[in-house]
Structure 1
Amino acid sequence: MSSKEKPTLGGQRIKTRKRNIAAPLDPTAFADAVVQIYLDNAGDLELVAKSIESSDLNFSRYGDTFFEVVFTGGRTQPGTLKPDEGERHSYSVLDCEPKREAILPYVLYIQKTLRRRPFLIKNLENVTRKFLQSLELFEENERKKMAIFTALTFSQKLALTPETVFQPLLKDSLVAKGIVLNFITDFFKEYLRDNSLDDLISLLKKAKMEDNLLDFFPTAKRTPEALSEHFMKEGLAAVVEYNEKKMFEVKLKEIKSMLTTLISEETDVDEVVDIVKQQVKEAKFLDIEVVRMLWDVLMDAVQWSGKNQQQNANSALRQVKTWAKLLNAFCSTGKLELELMYKVQVQCYEDTKLMKLFPEIVRSLYDLDVLAEDTILLWFHKGSNPKGRQTFVKALEPFVNWLEEAEEEE
């Protein structure tokens, strides 16, 4: 039996597919070339930018290395901030003075570079994030430079992603040492030189940190009082006002939610009064704020049928009657009673289904001893809110005439 011969290929030659063979990575050579551009131009950023633009350096591969050279004057060792082997220059961001005037030219220089090579924005984010995560390895004045630089990059709209930049700051070790608080304070100061508080809040919202200002503080100092004291001392009163307003809104929302639940469960009114008083005391709310909140919650809890005006009127008046004792507990002065009338007026003006209920609600509040006669007369003659004034004054005129006639008879 003859053995089988191995098959052989003949005829047309089969071509093998060529593979893309990547050139070996050489970040050190790239860094040396960038450093040499700085040295050749004696750190003149205008000339450096022109030389960078005309160069054929592989920025797409060595973007992170490029920004390391911009920040530190040379390449850093992988995973650290320690200088790596190779050439270095002394015209970096960290070599200049910790002042806006000294750092702004670097930001504008980077801005020019990004316009020509927008793909480098990701590399800028990478290196910025890397340095912010390692702030404890910097000297104090170097951290200040980084804060000013970061603020200016946002002011100049370099397209950095706020969340990508800011979230690394919440590293426990950095927060505990107070490094983050000092950094963010310098950042706020610099950013607010060119931008409004609304711009700053918008930036913090994009970074998902607008509700977390206390997270910048070490645990032992994480109190509203410490926050207010710190930022007031640093001349950032606007930040303090914003935080106080934010805290008020959070507490107000919590109390509204609790009160809505108590109303829906038909809790005894005396018990509700005690609970609200305790919550208000702990939250340190002003009486006028409590009156506004109570009326909003009571009206929001009304079961509006929407079928006809009389049913809506009955529902609203029934709610007022049920919870009059709660309103009375907090409308303890003429000024607070007047504030309640303002709330009723504005709501009736803004809500069409309540527009014609204003005189009935006021009459009901009077009958239930929530509003005094003097308060109603003051509102009628000179104290009403401008919203719908003529309409509501005219609608209440018969009741006011009755009050004045009764007073004359007495």
Structure 2
Amino acid sequence: MRTICRNTNKQAARNQQKGSKYQWTDVDVEELHRFLGLLIYTSLVTLPSIQDYWKQSHILSVSLPAKVMPRDRFRSISWNIHLSDPEEDVINDQRKGYHIYMDNFLHQPKTVPEFGKYEVWSLWGPTEATEKGVLVAEKNALTSKSKRGSVRWIREDRLVFVKWMDTREVSVCSTIHPAFSGETIKRKVKEGPGRWVAKDIPCPTPIMAYNKYMEGLTCQTSFSSITQPIAELLAEAKDKATAGRRVCQRCKQVDKKRVSFMSNQKIQKPTLTGQRFKTRKRDEKKVFDPTQFQETIVQGLNQTGSDLDAVAKFLDASGAKLDYRRYAETLFDILVAGGMLAPGGTLSDDLTRTEFCLFTAQEDLETMQAYAQVFNKLIRRYKYLEKGFEEEIKKLLLFLKGFTESERNKLAMLTGILLANGNISASILNSLYNENLVKEGVSAAFAVKLFKSWIHEKDINSVAGSLRKVGMDNRLLELFPANKRSCEHFSKYFTDAGLKELSDFARNQQAIGSRKELQKDLQEQMERGDAFKDIIASAREEMKKNNISEQTMIGIVWTSVMSYVEWNKKEELVTEQAIKHLKQYSPLLKAFTSQGASEILLLVKMQEYCYDNIHFMNSFQKIVVLLYKADVLSEEAILKWYTEAHVAKGRSVFLEQMKKFVEWLKNAEEESESEEEEAD
């Protein structure tokens, strides 16, 4: 999912550079899940157009899509969602000139020349003359009495169909080869009773190429001369998942017998002869030998030396020869520590190692950035290493006690750079919460270097966003032992280390956490049916304890009051329900609107809530009137909100709703002023 998000964000950036005018913010995994859920929902609940899922003006309106995601956001993601890397797509589109060899792949041979538009040429065999689209010549065709080695062919543009008589007729088609270039193949021909003679017989060029490139690649290639015992074995193993392996084992026991994997069929199709059976690569058991792998990598790194560009090229080229997927852990151990790491983080003494690795490099940010580029190039080239690399970083963080201070500093800087560039997920930081690392202060010291390099590469917003995505934004205090786990100690430690931005972020997160706990307590008190005076007293005590202003408190109270009840889904009924509910809880709201700023903030919160919950769009004015009559809102606050303090969400709709009520307030104010003047 993270890969899809990354590719989608890249595609959106490319589209905006091309002139697309829609607004775009980067999509994350959580939002992508919501998008995919809506996509499934729209396939289950069908409406005439995509816009109808967000309409609320007819009887068939549905409420779920608007709650999950705004319509414009859904459409912008659907326009830009991209599974592959757009940068790699450009490179792939430039690649041409492929030759494809296929075996019974297409049902329309005449579609083969279409590949030529993309400079992709193909050979397809064996074919059947009965298949649709196969070119057939009525005159001079092969018959069962045709001489062995006879060739017939017919051409249409680049597409050539060839028939060749071996023990039976064989047909292929190709857009690559000529029909015949004089090639021969050896066959044993019977010249008398019990007498066989090897002779060279003509063989078409496409069939020679097919035998060369397709031999043994598929278990569905047919072979001749099958014995009855093998036929019975194949019939027995027909529907079993291990049939291929059993046939491979049995074939080794049959001396010079050719086995047909298609023998359970009543009619045998024409086949290419002269092929030898080969065991599938997936059935060959390979010995796990990380020592040999390490020697190969170490030798290459010693040859490249400290030239990191040469190291990157060597790793890129070696991936085609070595099994990176199987030995990913060994590979990353060597690049970081110079050799395979034993449990605890120590190097194995009995194995070869290299002096050209991360731990032996210079301890400066520029060098660590160069090493980060090496890892970035390697993972972009071999995508399957991405998960293994994250697991390696998690393991290295658990081994921090086994490294020297200099090695820890280098690893911290590298990790910070990789996190800033999005090469790894912030979830790897969970390893720093290991009890032993925290207790000895290793985690906190490592975090200082890590966050310094991270913020140097990006900014505190990048840190905050990444930590929120993995749910670690409220866990920073856990880097310290329990007796030092306080906001004050965290702030002092990281401020002294030159990371005031991080300490401010942690303090804000702590305040947000306290507000969430307060909101949760308020909801529990309302569910229990506690008296308003007890709820108000408890809330004011928390305000004093956590230094929460009245403006912040009224927002928490409003959210708690509106989250406490399950609202009706019908727009005509929800207004009545809201009026009844808020009338009951107006004393609680009144207790925290003693200041004009608190009243303004409450109006803004009401505006945002009614906009975000579409069923309340027509209820805003009635709620304001109710709270005005309950002395929660004053005339001055309502007039100020109307003229200047409102926000953009639903502004035109809500201002239109409030127009008559505001005019009434102004007239009532003028009348009261005139009455006061007359009294004077």
TM score, norm. by length of structure 2: 0.51
Give the secondary structure class of the aligned counterpart of 2:591: helix
Query: Are 2:539 and 1:276 aligned?
Result: yes
- Residues 1:16 and 1:162: Cα distance change in structure 2 (over 3 Å): farther
Query: Are 2:341 and 1:69 aligned?
Result: no
Q: Which residue of 2 aligns with 1:334?
A: 596
Q: Which residue of 2 aligns with 1:3?
A: none
CA distance in 1, matches of 2:568, 2:341: 70
Bigger drift between 263-272 and 99-108 goes to 263-272
TM-fit CA distance, 1:287: 0.8
Q: Which residue of 1 aligns with 2:407?
A: 142
TM-fit CA distance, 1:251: 3.0
CA distance in 2, matches of 1:353, 1:252: 27
Q: Which residue of 2 aligns with 1:10?
A: none
| TM alignment of 1:159-238, pairs within 5 A | 160=424, 162-163=426-427, 165-205=428-468, 207-238=470-501
- Given that 2:306 and 2:356 are in contact with CA atoms closer than 8 Å, whether structure 1 keeps it comes out as yes
- Residues 1:352 and 1:115: Cα distance change in structure 2 (over 3 Å): closer
1:133-168 Cα offsets, whole Å, 9 max, x none, are 11112222211100111223344554x4553x3332
* Structure with greater strand share of residues: 2
CA distance in 2, matches of 1:143, 1:201: 23
- Residues 1:20 and 1:78: Cα distance change in structure 2 (over 3 Å): farther
Give the secondary structure class of the aligned counterpart of 1:330: coil
Query: Are 2:271 and 1:25 aligned?
Result: no
1:115-135 Cα offsets, whole Å, 9 max, x none, are 555454455445433321111
TM-fit CA distance, 1:47: 2.8
TM-fit CA distance, 1:16: 5.3
TM-fit CA distance, 1:36: 3.1
- Given that 1:201 and 1:210 are in contact with CA atoms closer than 8 Å, whether structure 2 keeps it comes out as yes
- Given that 2:420 and 2:462 are in contact with CA atoms closer than 8 Å, whether structure 1 keeps it comes out as no
Q: Which residue of 2 aligns with 1:396?
A: 662
- Given that 2:621 and 2:657 are in contact with CA atoms closer than 8 Å, whether structure 1 keeps it comes out as no
Q: Which residue of 1 aligns with 2:358?
A: 93
- Given that 1:74 and 1:88 are in contact with CA atoms closer than 8 Å, whether structure 2 keeps it comes out as yes
1:27-81 Cα offsets, whole Å, 9 max, x none, are 1x54344333333333323334444555555655544333333222344446541
- Amino acid across the alignment from 1:228: S
TM-fit CA distance, 1:84: 1.5
- Given that 1:31 and 1:66 are in contact with CA atoms closer than 8 Å, whether structure 2 keeps it comes out as yes
- Residues 1:324 and 1:22: Cα distance change in structure 2 (over 3 Å): closer
Determine which of 511, 517, 521 is the counterpart of 1:254: 517
- Residues 1:204 and 1:346: Cα distance change in structure 2 (over 3 Å): closer
- Residues 1:381 and 1:200: Cα distance change in structure 2 (over 3 Å): closer
- Given that 2:426 and 2:470 are in contact with CA atoms closer than 8 Å, whether structure 1 keeps it comes out as yes
Structure 1 gap segments, 5+ residues each: 1-12
- Residues 1:326 and 1:407: Cα distance change in structure 2 (over 3 Å): farther
CA distance in 1, matches of 2:376, 2:394: 18
Q: Which residue of 2 aligns with 1:9?
A: none
CA distance in 2, matches of 1:41, 1:223: 49
Give the secondary structure class of the aligned counterpart of 1:398: helix
CA distance in 2, matches of 1:303, 1:41: 67
- Residues 1:363 and 1:245: Cα distance change in structure 2 (over 3 Å): same
| TM alignment of 1:355-370, pairs within 5 A | 358=620, 360-370=622-632
CA distance in 2, matches of 1:403, 1:81: 82
The structure with more radius of gyration:
2
CA distance in 2, matches of 1:62, 1:353: 57
CA distance in 1, matches of 2:400, 2:301: 26
TM-fit CA distance, 1:181: 1.4
CA distance in 2, matches of 1:116, 1:142: 27
- Residues 1:52 and 1:45: Cα distance change in structure 2 (over 3 Å): same
Bigger drift between 146-155 and 173-182 goes to 146-155
Bigger drift between 350-359 and 208-217 goes to 350-359
- Backbone CA RMSD of aligned residues: 3.7
CA distance in 2, matches of 1:346, 1:52: 54
- Residues 1:95 and 1:368: Cα distance change in structure 2 (over 3 Å): same
- Amino acid across the alignment from 1:326: L
How many equivalent pairs are there?
395
- Amino acid across the alignment from 2:361: C
CA distance in 1, matches of 2:443, 2:473: 16
* Structure with greater helix share of residues: 1
- Residues 1:407 and 1:366: Cα distance change in structure 2 (over 3 Å): farther
Q: Which residue of 1 aligns with 2:273?
A: none
- Given that 2:338 and 2:357 are in contact with CA atoms closer than 8 Å, whether structure 1 keeps it comes out as yes
TM-fit CA distance, 1:405: 0.8
- Residues 1:325 and 1:134: Cα distance change in structure 2 (over 3 Å): same
TM-fit CA distance, 1:288: 0.2
- Amino acid across the alignment from 1:141: S
- Given that 2:639 and 2:662 are in contact with CA atoms closer than 8 Å, whether structure 1 keeps it comes out as no
- Residues 1:299 and 1:166: Cα distance change in structure 2 (over 3 Å): closer
Q: Which residue of 1 aligns with 2:169?
A: none
TM-fit CA distance, 1:281: 2.7
CA distance in 2, matches of 1:52, 1:350: 52
- Residues 1:175 and 1:16: Cα distance change in structure 2 (over 3 Å): farther
CA distance in 2, matches of 1:37, 1:308: 71
Q: Which residue of 2 aligns with 1:243?
A: 506
Give the secondary structure class of the aligned counterpart of 1:211: coil
Q: Which residue of 2 aligns with 1:4?
A: none
Q: Which residue of 1 aligns with 2:674?
A: 408
CA distance in 2, matches of 1:95, 1:222: 35
Bigger drift between 66-75 and 376-385 goes to 376-385
Determine which of 398, 406, 412 is the counterpart of 1:133: 398
- Residues 1:129 and 1:397: Cα distance change in structure 2 (over 3 Å): same
CA distance in 1, matches of 2:482, 2:538: 30
CA distance in 2, matches of 1:234, 1:155: 20
- Amino acid across the alignment from 2:509: K
Structure number with the bigger relative contact order (C-alpha 8 A, sep ≥ 6) is 1
Q: Which residue of 1 aligns with 2:120?
A: none
TM-fit CA distance, 1:180: 0.9
Q: Which residue of 1 aligns with 2:224?
A: none
- Residues 1:313 and 1:109: Cα distance change in structure 2 (over 3 Å): closer
